[in-house]
Amino acid sequence: PAPGGGAPPLVVHAEVQAAIDAGEPVVALESTIITHGMPYPDNLHTARAVEEAVREAGAVPATVALLDGVCHVGLATEELTRLAQLGRERVAKCSRRDLAAVMARRGHGATTVSATMLLAHLAGVPVFVTGGIGGVHRGGEASMDVSADLTELSRTPVCVVCAGVKSILDIPRTLEVLETNGVAVAALGASEFPAFFTRSSGCAAPLTVANPHEAAALVLDPRCGARTHDLPRSPQISELRGRVQFCVFQTHARGRVSRCTHCILPSQPLLHSTPLCHARPYTHTHTHTHTHT
């Protein structure tokens, strides 16, 4: 928050602001994937490709980030390039809680889901697209390791379109937290909640919308009250579900054996010893159901 308890200062890119003022579609994009997801120049190529995909769909992209302590919603070409070149060594990964600290020291920040939602909302951008959101970590009932993304979804009126939660997380418990917090979760064109890499997670989707028109009606209906929605879009590689689950569970087991409670990655790459293409499929039969109380 800014001094006096107000909202943080924002620089909204001119193209983004013009689209907002004209009532044209704008889609917010996070920036953590740019600085912390891959090296330069692959990260820049990916960021540009994502923005181009948004444009091809008829909307204006608004990549969100902090540069020199200033929050930006929409980056100019040179700003996007600069962010990609700075990389993870010089750019902080910013959740909502980190924004004030990065702004105070006039640093650079790449926004996670929660920070992107907040800044997009303050700029008047109602839709945000990302890969996978955070959630409840495996063993979270003991560690209390729960992503701030879930809290943000419950209090910031932005529609988040994603591929579900990251597959290494506890998806059933994540859905329970979203239900408790009153977040509407609807799967687009599917009856099952996706697992980031795959269409299938073994968890039933709380709601289903058949097409983008139904999704838009759900988000824009003024009778909904809080307009925060999570709309998982399933990737089309469902045949990998068993293999991904097997690798996740095996990696988690190795983390527990090594008494590592907050990081489930082994000291050596799992796929080095158990290639994904040869992994024994893991059969997961649990189906998550919701009870409304």
Which amino acid, one-letter code, is at 133?
I
Residue 24 bears catalytic tag = no
What's residue 230's pLDDT?
A: 58
Q: Of the spans 112-121, 236-245, 257-266, which averages the highest pLDDT?
A: 112-121
Query: What pLDDT does residue 285 have?
Result: 38
What is the share, in percent, of the chain residues with pLDDT greater than 90? 60
Q: For residue 238, is pLDDT > 50?
A: no
Q: Which residues contact 155 (CB under 8 A, 6 or more apart)?
A: 228
Closest to 231 in 3D by CA, of 255, 251, 212: 212
Predicted confidence band at 197 (pLDDT cuts at 50, 70, 90)? confident
Confidence bin at 166 (pLDDT 50/70/90) = confident
Task: Report, in angstroms and rounded to the nearest whole number, the Rg of the chain calculated over CA atoms.
Answer: 19
Torsion of CA 120, 118, 179, 210, to 10 degrees: 0
6 pLDDT more than 90: no
Q: What is the pLDDT of residues 12-41, one digit of tens each?
A: 999 999 999 999 999 999 999 999 999 999
Which residue in the block uniquely carries the two structure tokens 């893991």?
282
**Percent of the chain scored above 70 by pLDDT?**
73
Residue 233 banded pLDDT, cuts 50, 70, 90: low
pLDDT category of residue 9 using cuts at 50, 70 and 90: confident
Looking at residue 199, what is its pLDDT? 79
Q: Is pLDDT of 226 > 70?
A: no
Residue scoring higher pLDDT (154 or 166): 154
Tallying the residues shown for the chain, one arrives at 293
Which residues are paired to 28 by β-bridges? 62, 128
CA distance readout (Å), 221 to 42, 212, 233: 39, 14, 20
Tokens read off for 9: 């200062």
Q: Is 39 exposed, middle or buried, given 0-12, 13-18 or 19+ CB atoms closer than 10 A?
A: exposed
Under 8 Å CB-to-CB from 102, ≥6 apart: which residues?
A: 66, 69, 92, 94, 108, 109
Among this protein's residues, is 30 annotated catalytic?
yes
Higher pLDDT, 14 or 290: 14
AA letter at 178 = L
Question: Which among 56, 166, 176, 239 is annotated as catalytic?
Answer: 166
Q: Does residue 180 carry a pLDDT above 90?
A: yes
Rounded to whole angstroms, how far apart are CA atoms 164 and 166?
Answer: 7
pLDDT surpasses 70 at 198: yes
Region 139-166: what's the mean pLDDT? 92
Instruction: Say if residue 109's pLDDT is above 80.
Output: yes
* pLDDT reported for residue 119: 97
pLDDT digits (tens, 9 = 90+) for 241-284: 555 555 555 555 555 544 433 333 333 333 333 333 333 333 33
Whether the per-residue pLDDT at 52 is higher than 70: the answer is: yes
Q: In the chain, which residue ranges form alpha helices assigned H by DSSP?
A: 14-22, 32-36, 42-56, 77-90, 99-104, 113-123, 140-143, 148-155, 171-180, 212-220, 241-257, 270-273
* 91 membership: H or E segment, kind and range: none
Give the residue-averaged pLDDT of 219-238. Answer: 58
- Do 14 and 128 touch, CB atoms closer than 8 A? no
Question: Furthest-apart CA pair in the chain: how many Å?
Answer: 58
Check 30, 51, 152, 192 and give the catalytic one: 30
Least trusted range by pLDDT, from 147-151, 192-196, 239-243: 239-243
